[in-house]
Copies of this chain bind each other. A is one copy, B any other.
Amino acid sequence: MPDLSLAQFETPALLLDEQRMERNMERMRSHLQRLGVSFRPHVKTSKSIDVTRRLLPQGPGPITVSTLHEADFFAGHGFTDILYAVCIAPNKLAHAAALQDRGVRLTLILDNMETARVLAAERERSGRVWPVLIEIDSDGHRSGIEPGAAELLELGRFLEAAGIPVHGVLTHAGSSYDCASTEAIRAMARQERDAVVHAADRLRAAGSACPVVSVGSTPTATFADDLTGVTEVRAGVFVFFDLVMAGINVCRVEDIALSVLGTVIGHRADKGWTLVDAGWMAMSRDRGTSGQAVDQGYGLVCDLDGRPIADLIMVGANQEHGIIAHRSGRIEGALHLPVGTQVRILPNHACSTAAQYQQYLVVGAGGTVTATWPRFNGWSA
């Protein structure tokens, strides 16, 4: 397509700053290379073949998915090494089998005996076995078995006896999103590594081969300084970054590659409000910065070059209306953005905002739209 100025697009629209994205990707790739660990990026953030090709310029490599629909899509683009990083539900086994029949090496995860029995019954019934990782709880925030728990070895023994070799262990230190300092994130990265390496050691001592030791969250992946014993890292949101990540200093505001293009449609001068045609449907309902030191409302307002304007944030949102105001709430001397002015609004959370769209408008170095990249959503085609 010919390069198009942003003024030619109807709003709201989702913009992807290509240069920022490339820098974010390069930073993570080279950091993990220095640490000597494999990279299995999480494609749940972008759900885009174009973004993933930029991230893996050598061609299809190992990836992590959050849905089997993602697995289907990437399998269709030649990806064959796919980790589905949510504990498998019994009603997804037929789908997982269909992926295997297409030639995908699909790795499943589990954290309990009930699911192990389902997999054992499936092997008994159909002879089918998937590589499995046992999910380890490294920070108490969600699922997984504690690394020192007796249940871990019990589960490992049951799987091996059922003819399902334990292919490894996996953890996700989601609590790193709540860390208040870089030092706290570094400590969390060590805790994440120690938990999963300890679990792998126990399983190996009990006779499992357990070749894979998988960790990953964007904060811990960014600040980890020693991943001895870990074999692969998963991370997703780093490709775009967002205000939540900037709020815990995992990136700078100027690294955020994703923004929503909105247009001024009116004002309430008596309240210091500027109304835009981007509401919560355009930004998502994610208020991830509400618990951080700096609450960014529904998003941080920037000019078309992506630079914050006069400390304006989206203080309120209806379905298709955003209310923009000065962060302090002050009314006097508020900047008047005329009706028709376009703004770029940085999102709290890249995963949730991007999910509101079917495409990215790729903004190149010249500030024009150089390409349109489709993305997909949902759980089925």
Contact = CB atoms under 8 A, between A and B. Distances in A.
A92 B264 CA distance: 12
Interface stretch (A108-116, A181-189, A200-208, A326-334): A108-116
The A interface, classified by DSSP as helix, strand, loop or mixed, is: loop
Interface in A1-43: 7, 9-13
Contacts of A90: 263, 339-340
Interface string A321-361: 10100000000000000111010000001011001111000
A87 B379 contact: no
A91 interface: yes
B91 A9 contact: yes
A377 B349 CA distance: 19
Interface string A270-302: 010001010011001111000000000000000
Nearest to A135: B266
Contacts of A111: 266
A380 B280 contact: no
Contacts of A285: 284-287, 349, 352
Nearest to A13: B379
Number of copies: 2
A27 to B, nearest CB: 23
**Residue among A266, A277, A338 having the largest count of chain B Cβ atoms under 10 Å:** A266
Contact of A112 (B68, B323, B339): B339
A246 interface: no
A345 to B, nearest CB: 15
A190 B358 CA distance: 41
Task: Classify chain A's interface size.
Answer: 35 or more
Contacts of A368: none
A56 interface: no
A363 to B, nearest CB: 17
Contacts of A379: 10-13
A320 interface: yes
Given A10-B380, A86-B277, A142-B316, 12 more contacts: A7-B91, A10-B95, A66-B320, A67-B320, A90-B339, A114-B339, A115-B266, A115-B339, A142-B318, A281-B355, A285-B285, A285-B287
7 contacts: A10-B91, A10-B95, A87-B265, A280-B352, A285-B285, A285-B352, A319-B351
